[in-house]
Chain A
Amino acid sequence: MEIAEELAKHQKAISVAEFFEKNRQILGFDSAPRALITCVKEAVDNSLDACEDAGILPDIFVQIKKSGEYYQVIIEDNGPGIVPEEIPRVFAKLLYGSRFHALRQSRGQQGIGISAAVLYTQLTSGKPTRVISKIGPSRPARYCELLINTAKNEPEVLKSEDVDWERPRGTRVELEMDGSYVRSRRQSVYGSLKSTAIVNPHARLTLVEPEGNMEVFERATESLPKKAYAISPHPAGIELGELIKLLRYTDKKKLRVFLKETFSSIGAISAQELCNLAGLDPEVLPSDLDHEAAKRLHIAFKQIKVKSPPVDCLSPIGEELIKAGLEKEYRLDFIATAVRPVSVYSGNPFLVEVGLGFGGELEKESRIEILRFANRVPLVYQQGACAMTHAVEGVSWKNYSLSQPTGSGVPVGPVVLLIHIASTNIPFTSESKDAVADVHEILVEIDLGLKEVARKLRRYLSRQSVLMERREKEEIIRKILPRIAKKLSDVLAKDEPDIGPVVAKIMGNLLVFRKVERVNGRLSVNILVENHSDLLRSFKLHEVLAVQADRVTPEARVISMADGYDYHWKLSIAPGKSAALSYSVAADGVTLTEPVIEGLDAEIVTGARVI
């Protein structure tokens, strides 16, 4: 026997289940605390997906109990339930699921998560996973005890029977596994559920911790997120291999029809244009295209401009709910949000949303908190390896009033950043779904989203500093200046000086300053109007006199009234400039009332009454 033949005897297929049994870190079960988090996350993701599909407001109950040397994890939802025949395969067969083939946004994709938890359960505690599911009030609930046959990747059903269950519908899973329960940091069951609650404000999540403490993350909204629909692939960035596959297996008989029906965003005109560019007959049978022709078509795809993929394949959280979610879990002074338009990488539509919370009780001296989400699922591990973190590090935050001690990297300040990527296919760096890969198109979109909220933050902060300055000036004027004036009059034994003119200067007000002198039995009146603001001020100044005045300079309009005369001047004074008015009036029996300004706000005028 030849060596190759000898070797061939030992070659055999490896079951996926066996593979993951030996490589559990790939699925996120590499440490005891992490196993619990991953298990809860997978079960909660499934529940949320199922509820959304069924149009039900999710109400998910999670309990973690100590059970001997193991932890018991219970997850119960009010979802649509699973038909009895499917239960074993959904929970105890890897790579079994309904979402892998659909181009639609959902949390789960590959059908691995929950079965991996079942696998981990049987590996560590040796116990089967118990599932109860009920699909309607009139149906019985089905109870199953399941293991996975790892050699075959097939479910092994230990028990399957109908039972009574008080819920109208829903699913309950109980797993018993090796683990360790931690709290008080983000990488914990508590932290992960808190993050989940932020981006799923339509869900109520209840957590009962091992010590019996109960935490409820309440809903912030009663409306379900918009349902995401399945779409056809988008032509932008599709790979050649994928195109060849589609051409070969299509049932369409004409290239023109194939292009129009297979891809989203391509109509009759674009299809014709593509054929022209590639030099292909629109009526040709798609499967007849050889490699060379497919390559020309692929090049043509890159040359034409097609519109963005339809948004309805994606389900963004939306600005309002991002705001509600952040408000719900943090106490903040300011929130800015940004939702980017749909964009495409390698034929997959995606969309980036960013929320920024500032101030409140956030730590001022430490690095900002980054909450990363992919299809509404929080990412808690491998922050440093994620495209979202890299995009944050790439922004020059100093330009936006946040400090970045080393010039780049995660900035420092009282900020929490929420970044959400929604896509029909999130490019994770590994199957444990901890970090998003550095895809250029995605990095660009995150960067734009970050800069949008950062600009809003900068505007907010500069407005705050203007207010601060105003408050500072108020303090000078109300508290300090009067005291200086009082002390000076004490020291010098003189009358307290009028602080009005100084106030006008400091506040940038319009100052009206009237000086009256008695000359030969007449009052000589001089009025100086100074504009200390940095804007042009236009207004009318009135002097109401009992008798007629003379030597009025500049000339004023006079309206005679029942008990006197209203002299008024129309004035327009540039910033930093002043105007001088004067007149003379008989002194006898004349009492001057305060000058009157018409046409300006009272706060910006000193030394006159404003009407």
Chain B
Amino acid sequence: MEKSVEKKEFELARSIEKEEKSKRAEERLLNLADSLYNQFLLGVVPHITLPSRTKANIEYSIKEDVWVYGDQETTRSVNTVRGAKTLLKTVHLAELLIKEHLKNNRGSTLREIYYISENWDIAKFHEQAESDRLIEDLEIVTTMHREDFHVRPEEDGAAVFGPLRLKEQTRRGEKEMHCQEDVGEAGYQIPFNVDNIEFLNHDAKMVMAIETGGMYARLIENGFDEEYNAILVHIKGQPARSTRRIIKRLNSELNLPVVVFTDGDPWSYRIFASIAYGAIKSAHLSEHLVTPSARFLGVQPSDIVDYNLSTDKLTDKDLQALRSELTDPRFNTPYWEKQIKLQLDLKKKAEQQAFAGKGLDYVTKTYLPERLSEMGII
């Protein structure tokens, strides 16, 4: 009885909070429209100013321990046809979000928004990347998150497996589950809005984010999660915001150390960077998504030598990506400099699966225990 009252209060508080957020989002979008409107009245060429979202304009925030945008700005004005069209699209988008989403309490996926623009004539988006980017722009201008506009990404299938019990607020009511006992082999699928989850209890000592499905399945099959009390997160390539958010929450709310286990190539280092430092494209959300204490487990270029892994040659694109990382402020640490330079010398890369060449148990019995104790986690 008592529990149900508590639950109701909780739900009430949540719905009030949600309503307030919607109101705030609407207000801020209206402010944006209003400022453009006033620019017309004042005879100022209508424009929006945004931080420029490039590698050159991210800087380390000591306060938050993450990478955020610097002071370089770009201006979108109606002085060019492109700029004018972008502003027109922005206004269309703002109208959609205010009138369809926030006023009616509905939502759409990123893909749906791209399709909705079909009816906008010259303001139609040419590709989904364009609408996605404009939504990010609106997040920056309003300092809100796209979830606050009721915009959600497509489910990407990232999953969690490990000794964790949680409660999820779904559209069909509350669901409680244990991420080892109540889930199938694929694990618990991460919902797009991770803030609808409440962690209840756990028995974990660490969180391990894993790039490939093959390695995630290998660790589950070998019982690594049980043996080492690890919460395994399958990040499925470049991690979605929800994946990064759940890692961040596991780290900050449950105080668990996070390690990232990827392939040993320049693209995988960027996956790690987006978890630990923040992504260039979404540095405005760094404080919300980034886990500064996350550490890179492997595959390290030095592992290629130390474990004599079978390798592939670096392609020209790989080499270019590695060199570009040397000028990326996020990788400007002695550790990364050493590893990247070593890899440039080796001209080789290795996949996570390369450990299979030494037997199916090698990764769980030898490599991971050695690396984790080296890192002081076990």
Contacts and interface: CB of A to CB of B under 8 A. Distances in A.
B33 A484 contact: no
B181 interface: no
A491 B79 contact: no
B10 to A, nearest CB: 35
Contact of A494 (B37, B87, B95): B37
A491 B96 CA distance: 9
B36 to A, nearest CB: 6
B63 to A, nearest CB: 35
A491 B91 contact: yes
Given A483-B88, A483-B123, A491-B30, A497 B40 contact: yes
Nearest to B45: A505
A504 B34 CA distance: 21
B36 A484 contact: yes
Identify the interface centre among B34, B40, B80, B94: most chain A CB within 10 Å of its CB.
B40
A476 B33 contact: no
Nearest to A489: B37
B91 A487 contact: yes
A570 to B, nearest CB: 24
B81 interface: yes
B43 interface: yes
Contacts of B44: 502, 505
A573 to B, nearest CB: 16
Nearest to B90: A484
Contacts of B78: 476, 480-481, 484, 502, 506
Q: Is the interface of B mostly helix, strand, loop or mixed?
A: helix
A530 B43 CA distance: 11
A534 interface: no
A333 interface: no
The 6 closest A-B pairs by CB, nearest first: A501-B43, A497-B40, A480-B84, A487-B91, A491-B33, A488-B37
B281 interface: no
B145 interface: no
Contacts of B41: 497-498
B33 A502 contact: no
A504 B41 CA distance: 13
B122 interface: yes
A505 B42 CA distance: 11
19 contacts: A472-B80, A472-B81, A475-B81, A476-B79, A476-B80, A481-B78, A483-B88, A484-B46, A484-B88, A484-B91, A487-B88, A488-B33, A491-B91, A491-B95, A502-B39, A502-B43, A502-B45, A504-B43, A530-B43
Nearest to B40: A497
A552 B239 CA distance: 68
Interface in A446-490: 472, 475-476, 479-481, 483-485, 487-490
A480 B37 contact: no
Interface in B64-88: 78-81, 84-85, 87-88
Given A492-B34, A511-B43, A487 B95 contact: yes
B119 to A, nearest CB: 13
A567 interface: no
B92 interface: yes
A61 interface: no
A484 B84 contact: yes
A530 B33 CA distance: 26
B40 A480 contact: no
Contacts of B94: 491
A503 to B, nearest CB: 10
Contacts of A483: 88, 122-123
Contacts of A504: 43
A492 B29 CA distance: 10
B94 to A, nearest CB: 6
Interface residues of B, number: 29
Contacts of A502: 39-40, 43-46, 78
A513 interface: yes
A488 B88 contact: no
A498 B40 contact: yes
Contacts of B79: 476, 506
Interface in A167-207: none
B275 interface: no
Contacts of B123: 483
Contacts of B290: none
B206 interface: no
A293 interface: no
A499 interface: yes
B84 A491 contact: no
B37 A481 contact: no
Contacts of A488: 33, 36-37, 40, 91
Contacts of A481: 78, 84
B30 A492 contact: yes
A517 to B, nearest CB: 16
Contacts of B40: 485, 488, 497-499, 501-502
A480 B81 contact: yes
Interface string B5-33: 00000000000000000000000001001
B98 interface: yes
Contacts of B98: 491
A363 to B, nearest CB: 28
Nearest to B98: A491
Contacts of A487: 88, 91-92, 95
A463 B94 CA distance: 39
A485 B91 CA distance: 9
Contacts of A511: 43
A499 B36 CA distance: 12
A497 B92 CA distance: 17
A506 B39 CA distance: 13
A581 to B, nearest CB: 17
Given A481-B78, A494-B37, A513 B43 contact: yes
Contacts of B33: 488, 491-492
B37 A492 contact: yes
Contact of B37 (A497, A506, A530): A497
B83 to A, nearest CB: 9
Interface centre among A488, A489, A497, A504 (most CB of B within 10 A): A488
A533 to B, nearest CB: 15
Contacts of A485: 40
* Most B-side CB within 10 Å, residue of A481, A511, A530: A481
Nearest to B84: A480
Interface string A397-436: 0000000000000000000000000000000000000000
Interface in B101-127: 122-123
B27 to A, nearest CB: 12
Contact of B45 (A480, A492, A494, A506): A506
Nearest to B85: A480
B181 to A, nearest CB: 50
Given A502-B43, A502-B78, 5 more contacts: A476-B78, A484-B84, A484-B88, A487-B91, A504-B43
A266 B79 CA distance: 65
A485 B84 CA distance: 12
Contacts of B81: 472, 475-476, 480
A497 B33 CA distance: 12
A499 B91 CA distance: 16
B132 to A, nearest CB: 21
Interface string A132-168: 0000000000000000000000000000000000000
A483 B81 CA distance: 13
A505 B44 CA distance: 8
Contacts of A480: 78, 81, 84-85, 88, 122
